[in-house]
Structure 1
Amino acid sequence: MSTSELLEEKHGPKIKIAVSVAAALAVVSGTLLVGLFTYRIRTNLKVKKEPKGIISHQNNEGQKEDLELPFLDLSTIVGATDNFALNNKLGEGGFGPVHKGILEDGQEIAIKRLSRSSGQGLNEFKNEVRLIAKLQHRNLVKLVACCVQGEEKMLVYEYMPNKSLDSFIFDQTKSKLLDWSMRFNIICGIARGLQYLHQDSRLRIIHRDLKASNVLLDSEMNPKISDFGAARTFGGDQSEGNTKRVFGTYGYMAPEYALDGQFSTKSDVFSFGILLLEIISGKKNRGFFHPNHSHNLIGYAWILWNEGRPLELIDECLGQSSTLSEVLRCIHISLLCVQQCPEDRPSMSSVIVMLGSESALPHPRQPGFYLEKNSNEAHCFSSKQEPSSTNEITITLLEAR
């Protein structure tokens, strides 16, 4: 026999076994690769189709809770904002920038992107996620989705084409676009939103930073309260609390909250009263200037009320569009809301009743922060304010929204 025949006879079985094993391994490996590839495809499709995401959060009592929220992946948001292009930027606050985006279906959105260097922003982000996920009301800004991917944390809101309320009432040109009927509709909408937070929502919620820039306007000029980063929740019959770290904006904070850190639904009522005065007058409470005296807007309104001249508070651009009896009633309600003692202020449900009726109203008592800018009392107040943590620009202050 030839040498090749002898080798084949001697090693043939081993070669056949090796070939069989190699073939089997190839088949198994191929099957595993195909299976893995199929699994990844199905997983990716599931992520894209899945409308919910889960974010873990520590609540106010330190208990861990999982929150189901609408979810968008980062690539979708990057595409919607043209990779966060500068011309899509709506504004920026302490938390980070806000960008406008357009989804593939044409829906316009506003993306609140948490700054990686903002420790305070992270807490506000979690707080806002937890609250907005559980709130549904026509006068509260709507959360469209959220994104938590890697180091990116974003909230996606419905886009408000008419910016915030302050961009209208404090602008000499745009304020003329708001006649009294529109302003009264905005007042009533804000009141309904606050009533929902205080009384009708699943949680009793105190906003703590209600102001003109945190009221957004939709395409039909309907108001929507935004920015829940500083909000606090209560359960059961609890309706007030205390904090050593004051969040909010000077000019809107109630005296007991600004000075002592005590907040309640009545501190929100005080802020609403200030906002009501600003909507009526077109003037800011903080930084208000009058050539004949040094009072703030509250003091000026109080003086006019006691002298029987409250209608002089009305924004000049309203002209003949205002219903004087309705304006007078709103001024009266605003002074009831800014009374010094929280117990004297009405609840938001009472405010809504007052706005919709013509019944007699109680006489307001002296308001809180009724003082002159150069008085000793004002100096004492400002010195007590220094330790407070105040956000002049907070989560949803969008200058170009």
Structure 2
Amino acid sequence: MTWLGALLCVPFIAGCGGGGDSGGTGNVRVLNATHDYGAIDYYTSDTLVLSGIAEGAVSSYQSVSEGSYTFKFKPAGTTTTALSSSMTVSKDTSYTLVAYNNGSTMSSTYFADTQSAPTSGTAALRVFNGAAAAGYVDVYVTAPDADLATSTATASSVASASVTSFVEITKGTYRIRVTGYGDKTDLRLDIPSVTLSDQQITTLMLTSTSGGVLVNGLLVNQGGTVTAYKNANARVRVVAAVSGNASVVTGTTDGSLNSTLLSPTVGTYVTTAASLSGLAVSVNGTALDTSALAVSTGTDATLLVYGDASAPKVKLLADDNSPATVSSNAKIRLVNLLNGLDGTISLSADYVSVGDNVAFGGVSTPTALTAGTGIRLELTTPLRTTALYTATDVTLVAQKVYTLFAMGDASSPVVVLRKDR
């Protein structure tokens, strides 16, 4: 492999006016790399140019006069503007304009489709990290049977909204894996087989998932097709919170979610097929009904097994582990698994509410708060005049996500503060 340049940052498109010149024309196509906007419409200078571009799809090229344009993306068939920005088109140049998720909002970038053909017998590949919530990532392009533990990253420490330079790779079939930066055990995406053809020029675009940690992939060929590689996995952890220190056993057909936990215990996330094939849960040897449990691909989830040992319950919580939008903030939420308390509980941080009136088996909406040290967390219920739990020297790190689990019995609560990412 031979690097063709240095790592550079692809800018978000900044506003710079509108209107085209008539001296020449360029070509623009639009790639919809979002994951929750559905199909989108593309406007330039308030004129509808392309309509109904599906998620994961790319339009044909459209001829555009050279110059600077204000463009807008709107959910298909609506008048609501999801993003308004601008780009400059040069004559005789083709561009791919990309819409993608940046947290809860839409962002965009564009690439000039002008890369020269690589050396005969090789393909040219680069990586764009459009998965803002995922943070820095490493990308490994290896033989299909290569051991990741002994492999060297093809692209390392790829920051959000940045693109690597092209690297030449001998044509052939490869496996592409994406991990968290510096941690080969933190697998974010696994594409088992990708064929790179002679003198192919392609960009691996990483996009975010609703869980915030795993990523999806798009292989965008310069001037050509786009192939989507949607993450088929989810990250799931098991929480055992059944009364009487009950034993909770879980398992799946592939063994990825096999565990035995003594209540009250918060397990760790494991990557598993989102199908949860063969999911089984038992409490003290008695099987529970799991037929209604399901997770979506690319998500993080918590499998709660809780309640009285005589009639335990099981449910899945969707976990939003995207970092806070403000860089100095952390996020926290409360899960109420406190047996024997016939009422709600609430959580405050430095006397400010961060989770109000959470019912048994429920969860509060994640709340952003200023990160720091010496934070006071207090857990209360309207049924008592004294706090259920107080901690006065808690450290919450910026850009991290936390869950406070209230478990055990009301007479002797067991509180676990877990850093989710």
Please report the TM-score for the alignment, with normalisation by the length of structure 1: 0.25
Please report the TM-score for the alignment, with normalisation by the length of structure 2: 0.24
Higher relative contact order (CA 8 A, sep 6+): 1
**Richer in strand (by share):** 2
Which structure is larger by alpha-carbon Rg, 1 or 2? 1
**Richer in helix (by share):** 1
